[in-house]
Structure 1
Amino acid sequence: MNIYWDKKKKRWTHLKTDRKLYWGKEEKKIASIANIESDLSFPVIVKKNKIGPLVGILATYHEKKQFTGNIKLFLTLQKQLASKGGILFIFTLRGVRKSYITGYIFNLRTSKWVKSTFPLPDIVYNRLCKREEESSPLFQELTSLLKNKEIPFFNPHFFNKQKVLSHLQKDPVIRRHIPHTIPFSNRQHLQYLYYKFSKVYIKPVEGSKGKGIFTLTFSKTCITLQTQNSSHKFFSVTSCWQAVEKLLKNKKYIAQEAIKLNTHYNNKYDLRIHAHRSKTLWKITGIGVRVANTNKITTHVPQGGKIATIAELDTELQYDQVNTITNRVGHMLEEQFGLLGEFSMDVGISNTGHYYIFEVNSKPMLFDEPEIELDRTRKLVSTCYELSSFNQETHG
């Protein structure tokens, strides 16, 4: 059956006058009428007089486009949910009220986003683009509302690299898979690194896509500082620190031991692992390979990295080990940072065959591999059903 959005009267309706329909966490009633004037219809499946799950995606406000973010992901999730009878809408922090939310739903017939009002959803997926939004009063009000209404809110915030790696090191198994990592903010840290390591990566604690990363390579005669686009030599810790301090720009950074990685045609590579929840376990959705370009310091595609496949590698992947690491990481993350539906990891394989976790991301971007991205969205839909207590196998 269909439900309809009446733009004039600003209400949702349905044609089954002999049947009561409810939706959202608070099971709000949908008005039934004899004649529908609206042409904005949305397919649903009814189970025990309720439709859903009603899934809200929290996105970043945009002055001209109303909202912004990973639109391709939003559309794919909407279509997959609709095919199972679920409903997805996008909203921003500005649209939240105590008993309803103003948001946007995509109409497949017109291929346009329609502004509508919705009851409080069964579940919310956080896809905010900007970290500062998660420290705003509006965000705090939303999280408080969701907690009071017992509405699941997954991937509740961005990860802080330092806090994530520090927490993961509490697990005795995972600890062996994390490179030596310390805060990096002063000359004393640089002095320590100079005597301890031959090479380190300096990374912004709240960075992404390889932005802001640079390396320091130490020898007896000099320190080489390499950014994504340039290289400079310094002949004392003091002179090096003067240059490094300008790059830090008063932001928080970590220093991470550089691991001698396996190579693909003489260029280092690492793995992009996407993981999803499956009831009480964390499983791998897919694994992509990213190969650094010649003379580039990271494998990120926006920084010149190339895409490869596991089949192209000379190394045979140890799937049992990777699965174990992924499951333990998922449980450790939820223990410290709250409910998750997905995460991704950047994992390297050393030239001795050891696996190292470089970073963990709470809001994975689109995977360049279509098969991984498609499976990812399917797993996210399953998560929405699971966490909202809808059973997608019997729904309908």
Structure 2
Amino acid sequence: MISFGMMSLSMKSEISYFTEIARRANADRFTCYRFSPAKIHPITEMVTGEVFDQKKDCWVKAEFPLPSIIYDRCFYTNDPASKQSLAIVKWLKNKTDITFLGNGLPNKWDIYQVLSTSPLSPYIPKTILAGSGKVVIAQLDEMGQAILKPIFGSGGAGIYKIKKTGREFEISADIGDRLTTKTFHSTSETENWLDNLFRKKEYMVQPCLSLSDPQDCPFDIRVLLQKDAEENWIARGKGIRRGIKDGILSNLRAGGEILPFEEYVNTLDIRTRRFILLELEEILSKLPGILEASFPRLFELGVDIGVSRDHALWVLDTNSKPGRKVITSTNPDLKEVLYKAPIEYASVLSKILPEREEQHL
């Protein structure tokens, strides 16, 4: 019997997703649990959580030993509860009798260092650490305008655009569904604001690429990759995220919308369409292998790819705990495949247990 645990920071998170996965698990082979890392008893190593009852089709409160395979869907922030859970998960990943379905990728800077020296380097935007306001201002002399991204972050939170016009500096951000802009009238004032920002979070700076459609709406291609039962990487689906007019982000939290990938490619002429599809195939065929050569084994990846006005493709972000909304909204028939995928890959891992890897969150 395979003991399969699905883990989230809150018991209110991912309930429907975990339930659909558990419904598709063969009751003769799997026992499915859901739990929070904070509910692991450090001395007894017993867990207070829920077990899925196949006959009743519901979750039932239970206490159980640590599952042998864990699907980690924890999303950490800077609050004390997250930090406590993070420490517990690090401890879990050092246990030789537990295997994680997939491992988290490190921060954006570490990923950049790997990808920028890989065969995919032509698709990776130039990136430097934003150590101080002076560093960013110096970059603006070369770039004219730039994007500031937190090294640790997701969902588009904390991203700014900075632009220099004459002696003035404009710093913009997508707040909700609107663009807000601050104007600074001196270099020193701008540097002070940036230094204050960098004291709170580590940032990196990239050139501001022209990643908008003809209506001046930022957009990108979201691709969901997963391993199948033969451990091959499969592109499960693609979708378009389109942001507000003149905005910075295509992110849904910033007021963006979801469009079918086919709707986008069908607007292109045949030559451009063929070029973009071939470039996409090149990126997606190499990216997982490059990451797994430097970081521990992965199960799934969300990849965000920008397309500039000259149809150049840029890898903007890679996420080892991707959402499914963009893919399922445009391809509802894929839901069944996505619900089965974690169980199918857990079956693969169960045949090679126990194993030990150095793990990343």
User: Normalization by structure 2: what TM-score?
Assistant: 0.82
Match 1:283 to one of 223, 234, 237: 234
Match 1:184 to one of 126, 130, 133: 130
1:348 aligned partner: 306
**In 2 relative to 1, CA 280–325 (structure 1 residues): closer, same or farther, beyond 3 Å?**
farther
Ranked by relative contact order (alpha carbons within 8 Å, sequence separation 6 or more), the top structure is 2
Match 1:233 to one of 170, 183, 208: 183
Distance in 1 between residues matched to 2:108 and 2:349, nearest whole Å: 27
2:36 aligned partner: 92
Match 2:245 to one of 271, 278, 294: 294
Q: Give the partner amino acid of 2:216.
A: N
Match 2:24 to one of 64, 74, 80: 80
Distance in 1 between residues matched to 2:253 and 2:8, nearest whole Å: 23
SS of the aligned residue for 2:314 comes to strand
1:380 aligned partner: 342
1:333 is displaced (CA, Å) by 2.0
**In 2 relative to 1, CA 191–266 (structure 1 residues): closer, same or farther, beyond 3 Å?**
closer
Distance in 2 between residues matched to 1:324 and 1:274, nearest whole Å: 15
Contact 1:197/1:218 (CA < 8 Å) preserved in 2? no
Q: Give the partner amino acid of 2:110.
A: K
**In 2 relative to 1, CA 180–373 (structure 1 residues): closer, same or farther, beyond 3 Å?**
farther
Distance in 2 between residues matched to 1:157 and 1:96, nearest whole Å: 23
Q: In proportion to residue count, which structure has more strand? A: 1
Match 1:159 to one of 100, 106, 110: 106
**In 2 relative to 1, CA 79–170 (structure 1 residues): closer, same or farther, beyond 3 Å?**
same
1:28 aligned partner: none
1:196 is displaced (CA, Å) by 1.5
Match 2:141 to one of 187, 191, 195: 195
Aligned-pair identity (%): 21
Contact 1:180/1:256 (CA < 8 Å) preserved in 2? yes
2:4 aligned partner: 55
Match 1:303 to one of 254, 257, 272: 254
**In 2 relative to 1, CA 134–184 (structure 1 residues): closer, same or farther, beyond 3 Å?**
farther
Distance in 1 between residues matched to 2:89 and 2:68, nearest whole Å: 18
SS of the aligned residue for 1:193 comes to helix
**In 2 relative to 1, CA 84–261 (structure 1 residues): closer, same or farther, beyond 3 Å?**
farther
Q: Which structure 2 residue ranges, 5 or more long, are not aligned?
A: 353-361
Contact 1:190/1:237 (CA < 8 Å) preserved in 2? no
Q: Which structure 1 residue ranges, 5 or more long, are not aligned?
A: 1-22, 24-52, 391-396
State the Cα deviation string for residues 77-118 of structure 1 (Å, max 9, x = none).
Answer: 111224785332112223256675443123355454212244
**In 2 relative to 1, CA 136–378 (structure 1 residues): closer, same or farther, beyond 3 Å?**
closer
Contact 2:129/2:204 (CA < 8 Å) preserved in 1? yes
Contact 1:367/1:373 (CA < 8 Å) preserved in 2? no
1:261 is displaced (CA, Å) by 2.0
Q: Give the partner amino acid of 2:294.
A: Q
Match 1:142 to one of 92, 101, 117: 92
| TM superposition outliers: structure 1 runs of 4+ over 6 Å | none
Please tell me whether residue 253 in structure 1 is matched to residue 206 in structure 2: no
Contact 1:154/1:338 (CA < 8 Å) preserved in 2? no
Q: Give the partner amino acid of 1:81.
A: A
SS of the aligned residue for 2:200 comes to coil
Larger Rg: 1
State the Cα deviation string for residues 318-364 of structure 1 (Å, max 9, x = none).
Answer: 33432331232212222233121101011101122211011111111
2:162 aligned partner: 216
Q: Give the partner amino acid of 1:182.
A: I
Q: State how many pairs are aligned.
A: 330
- Spell out the pairing of 1:97-136 with structure 2 (5 A cutoff): 101-107=47-53, 110=56, 112-130=58-76, 132-133=82-83, 136=86
2:356 aligned partner: none
Q: Give the partner amino acid of 2:36.
A: T
Distance in 1 between residues matched to 2:171 and 2:181, nearest whole Å: 6
Distance in 1 between residues matched to 2:172 and 2:221, nearest whole Å: 23
User: Normalization by structure 1: what TM-score?
Assistant: 0.75
Contact 1:153/1:339 (CA < 8 Å) preserved in 2? no
Distance in 2 between residues matched to 1:300 and 1:373, nearest whole Å: 22
1:303 is displaced (CA, Å) by 0.8
Distance in 2 between residues matched to 1:205 and 1:134, nearest whole Å: 21
Contact 2:211/2:219 (CA < 8 Å) preserved in 1? yes
